[in-house]
Amino acid sequence: MTALVSVASLSVDWGRVVLTRTELMSAADSAARAGAAQLVNSPYTATAAVVSAAGMNSANGSSVVLDPAQYAFFRRRNVCAMIWKSSQRLQFSR
Q: What is the pLDDT of residues 7-53, one digit of tens each?
A: 888 888 898 889 988 998 888 888 888 888 887 787 788 888 888 99
Nearest Cα to Cα of residue 64 among 74, 72, 56:
56
pLDDT of the residue at 5: 84
Residue 74 pLDDT class (50, 70, 90 cuts): low
Given a contact cutoff of 8 angstroms between Cβ atoms, the answer to whether 38 and 30 are in contact is: no
Indicate yes or no: pTM above 0.85: no
Residue 66 pLDDT class (50, 70, 90 cuts): confident
Nearest Cα to Cα of residue 76 among 37, 43, 29:
43
